[in-house]
Amino acid sequence: MSVKDEDLDKFAQQLQNQIMEQIKKRYSEVVIDHWQNPRNFQKMENPDGYAQVKGTCGDSMEMFIKMKNQTITECTFQTDGCGTTIACGSTATELAKNKNFTQVLAQVSTEAILKNLKGLPQEDVHCAQLASDTLRRALADYLSQKKSPWKKHYRKI
């Protein structure tokens, strides 16, 4: 490695450290952990409920749920959004697991996601809203399929 390469590596490392310091000032450790190690960040084959929602900022989130006896046994997500959106989706999927329809509506709100993440800057609150909305729509999709099972065959996943 030449001296110039070493300088470049050192500069890149310093820059990365500075960026991380800025991120730590804005976000809690929980947010950073979910962002760097997202839980349930994958598509699901043959979900019982599915939704794709576009947020106010233009980012979108998909959510997939598996149900057993009216309870969510698995919940996964995908998003093209930023780190905060990933942290919110990850938290929502964890909160949703092993909850029934009523419990999800009452306990996996935007506020609950924010509380779990130990807060977000005001400009990122819509990311939690997107995760909460997507989960609710996936549940609505599950309920609508129960009433009209043939709909499942026409869904595009």
Determine the Cα–Cα distance for residues 92 and 152; give it in Å rounded to an integer. Answer: 24
Residue 59's SS3 state is coil
Q: Judged by CB under 6 A, does residue 87 bind ligand FES? A: no
Q: Judged by CB under 6 A, does residue 109 bind ligand FES? A: no
Identify which of residues 67 and 108 has a Cβ nearer to ligand FES in the complex.
Answer: 108
Determine the Cα–Cα distance for residues 58 and 50; give it in Å rounded to an integer. Answer: 19
Identify which of residues 57 and 112 has a Cβ nearer to ligand FES in the complex.
Answer: 57
Give the H or E element holding residue 51.
strand 49-54
Selected from 33, 41, 59, 74, the binder of ligand FES by CB under 6 A is 59
Contact range with ligand FES by CB under 6 A, out of 21-29, 63-71, 80-88, 111-119: 80-88
Q: Judged by CB under 6 A, does residue 130 bind ligand FES? A: yes
Burial of 37 (0-12, 13-18, 19+ CB in 10 A): exposed
The pair of three-digit structure tokens given for residue 6, joined into one six-digit string: 């070493």
Size of the site for ligand FES (CB under 6 A): 10
The pair of three-digit structure tokens given for residue 154, joined into one six-digit string: 């026409």
Contact positions with ligand FES (CB under 6 A) in 18-57: 55, 57
The contact set with ligand FES (CB under 6 A) reads 55, 57, 59, 81-82, 84-85, 126-127, 130
